[in-house]
């Protein structure tokens, strides 16, 4: 069942359209990524899901409720980590967890949550003295304190060092195991590829693509590129007949560069074996979500 429904969402600021008919549905238990260049409308979309902004057109539902008009019902099930959050400098980490926990009828165990986010040594530290990464981890903890069914994480790991980023990914994996639905805004393709079941790519306020990471990669212009120096050249006709072939290029140094999909590479290997051709210095490169994303958003910032 879809727990988040976004249907033909439209939003303008001062007459300038920033969302123009965006539709997607997030299934319960799914990790759904929202990608796109700066200014594409990601934050505006999640703010509409959170009920912080009212759409100018279209419909948003969280667990069947309108988050803008039915906040009383939506707030208890929705955890939110805002992109630009702030707390009073004098508040300690412990006080922040207690304060936010008090908003919910059945808050998470504060100690356990602090432990999971590496905050246990920081409980008595004041917010104003925390580093950027420590603040970020606290905001993630605050998003989770109410044991939400749905969590919206806007730029989850921006500002975290590589170790903290990996720890956070493990935390998200743990939430997935608990059946929590996650809407994740990110600029990190590795993060999206690692965590998301499906991703939507926004471009200038419209949906440019919606698929699994593997599905998007499959559609990258050069999904798989194989290059090698053949012991003798394979026939042009046989190469042209390879399934899902995209390009064939003979480099100046004699290397043959073939791009297509995994099926192209498998057929090429069979062709070489059949014709007794040896592939020297064979290299196979698979496209990443980064490649697919760049294809989809090329020309944008």
Ligand X SMILES: Nc1ncnc2c1ncn2[C@@H]1O[C@H](COP(=O)(O)OP(=O)(O)OP(=O)(O)O)[C@@H](O)[C@H]1O
Binding site for ligand X (CB under 6 A): 13, 18, 36, 38-44
Nearer to ligand X, 35 or 78 (CB): 35
CB of 24 to ligand X, least distance (A): 15
Cα maximum dimension of the chain = 75
Q: Minimum distance between the CB of residue 11 and ligand X, rounded to whole angstroms? A: 8
Question: Rounded to the nearest whole angstrom, what is the least distance from the CB of residue 38 to ligand X in the complex?
Answer: 3
Confirm if 248 and 227 have CB atoms less than 8 A apart.
Answer: no
Closest CA to 260 of 278, 242, 245: 245
How far is CA 91 from each of CA 35, 126, 250, rounded to the nearest angstrom?
33, 5, 64
Query: Which CB, 38 or 281, lies closer to ligand X?
Result: 38
Cα–Cα distance measured from residue 224 to residue 54, given in angstroms and rounded to the nearest whole number: 43
- Which two tokens mark 250? 């003979």
**Residue closer to ligand X, measured from CB, 31 or 201:** 201
> In whole angstroms, how close is the CB of 140 to ligand X at the nearest point?
18
The answer to whether the beta carbons of residues 156 and 166 sit under 8 Å apart is no
Distance CA 77, CA 2 (A): 14
Between residues 12 and 227, which has the closer beta carbon with respect to ligand X? 12
User: Do the beta carbons of residue 220 and residue 295 sit within 8 Å?
Assistant: yes
What's the min distance (Å) between Cβ of 47 and ligand X? 7
Among all chains, which residue has been given the structure tokens 């989850």? 156
Of 14 and 179, CB closest to ligand X? 14
């Amino acid at each position: 069942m879809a727990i988040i429904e976004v249907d033909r969402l439209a939003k303008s600021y001062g007459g300038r359209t920033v969302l123009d008919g965006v539709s997607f549905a997030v299934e319960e238990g799914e990790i759904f990524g929202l990608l796109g260049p700066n200014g594409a409308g990601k934050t505006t979309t999640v703010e509409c899901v959170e009920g912080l902004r009212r759409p100018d057109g279209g419909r948003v539902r969280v667990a069947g409720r309108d988050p803008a008009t039915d906040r009383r019902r939506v707030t208890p099930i929705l955890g939110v980590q805002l992109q630009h959050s702030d707390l009073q400098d004098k508040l300690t980490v412990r006080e922040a967890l207690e304060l936010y926990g008090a908003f919910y009828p059945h808050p998470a165990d504060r100690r356990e949550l602090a432990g999971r986010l590496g905050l246990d040594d920081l409980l008595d530290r004041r917010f104003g003295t925390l580093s950027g990464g420590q603040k970020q981890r606290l905001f993630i903890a605050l998003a989770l304190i109410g044991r939400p069914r749905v969590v919206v994480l806007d730029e989850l790991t921006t500002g975290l060092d590589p170790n903290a980023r990996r720890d956070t990914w493990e935390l998200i994996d743990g939430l997935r195991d608990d059946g929590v639905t996650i809407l994740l805004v990110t600029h990190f393709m590795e993060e999206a590829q690692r965590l998301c079941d499906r991703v939507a790519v926004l471009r200038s306020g419209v949906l440019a693509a919606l698929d699994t990471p593997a599905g998007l990669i499959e559609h990258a212009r050069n999904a798989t590129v194989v290059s090698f120096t053949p012991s003798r050249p394979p026939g042009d006709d046989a190469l042209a007949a390879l399934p899902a072939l995209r390009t064939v290029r003979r480099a100046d140094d004699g290397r043959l560069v073939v791009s297509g999909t995994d099926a192209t590479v498998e057929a090429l290997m069979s062709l070489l074996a059949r014709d007794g051709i040896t592939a020297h210095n064979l290299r196979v490169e698979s496209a990443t979500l980064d490649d697919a994303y760049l294809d989809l958003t090329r020309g944008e910032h």
